[in-house]
Structure 1
Amino acid sequence: MESVDRFYRLYMKYVHEYDFDSLFNLLNALHSLNDKLKLIKKHKVNLYDFEEFLTLKAIRNYLYHQEDARNRLIVAPISPDMPFQTDLAILCLITKSDLDAAINGIEKRFRKDHKEIINKMVHFYGDTVNISHVIFNMASKLILFLNENGIHGKSEEYLENKMAVESDINNDYSITVSGKLYGPVGTINRLWGILNAEVQI
């Protein structure tokens, strides 16, 4: 399925090029994939049961309509020099104010429930919000979901991710990560400033 291949091509581009354009393109591909799934399975299959999807959909919709917010994103590799540790190689951060605005953009009848889900999914560090793990976990869980529904890709990127997920399962490893950051409290709370000083996108 081309939309599956497109998502994983853009996911790998996000992982290796880590900039706000690759992130936005990835979120658009996820949104498009969900639309395609609803069509081919006559609305019986979609991604709305994934809390990761609900979180990323809200952020995608906000970024789609607020182009200036894309300039406030930080998508960067973790450097050994940074004063904190995490279980991912890529860090993706947005401001709390942008996340709040994204939640406010959710249709009113869904907003309260989705807000609770989103606030549970992301990690807050002062005015900084970490969504790195949400992206990784969505990509991992999606592999299993697609397989369960008989939907497959054929691209190199899709197959690489499928093999990685299957390897983790066969070796009794978790296919998801916590995404939590570990370090001195003051350092974590000043995360946005630290990364703005150290990382040039």
Structure 2
Amino acid sequence: MSREVASEPLRRVTHFILNFTDPLGSKLNRILLAEMAVVRPVLKNNCYFAHAENILLAAVSDSDMEIRRFSVEQIIRAREKQTNSNIPVSVFDKKDITLNLAATSFINMIDWDQSNVTSPPMLSHLSNDQLTYTHPILLPDVPCHSQAVERTIKDVSAASCKVYGRKSCHGMVLQSKKSRLEIPKTDSKKDFINS
């Protein structure tokens, strides 16, 4: 239900998010306890940002060399673990994440020993040698929550149920997008019934 005036907790959360520029950095320790009472449940409920893959992606593009080095070590270790085992990759469940809201750096938001660390798919085209390069890795801007992303996930899931192989799946997704552009609306029953 929409309102003309936002509730106090909503305004405080919005103020926190808009003014919170460094990811759980030094500013977090200065936030008042009253603010944290509102912000903490929101951060824990929306903790997809604290998935190990997301933190690793942020870390490989960080300007701090130590943070980049730590993330590259984690990625290489995860890649070795994936190639040396036949354990299937599981779907991410945000309930498994325990946030450390007292962290002084975003790489300390999660317990790396307890987390199921996997190599981010966005970096799969890079070799281990390319990852260890000293400059930050430039990543494309990819929205994580938008209607277009949700539609693409739906299209890829549907295509992977119908065809085999990455190339065939990609072709089917591209064809369905092209079809939507050429035929933006399909007829329904109401178009054929005389009223």
After TM superposition, is the score higher than 0.5? no
Which gives a bigger RCO, structure 1 or 2 (Cα 8 Å, sep 6+)?
Answer: 1
Give the TM-score normalised by structure 2. Answer: 0.29
The structure richer in helix per residue is 1
The structure richer in strand per residue is 1
- Bigger Cα Rg: 2
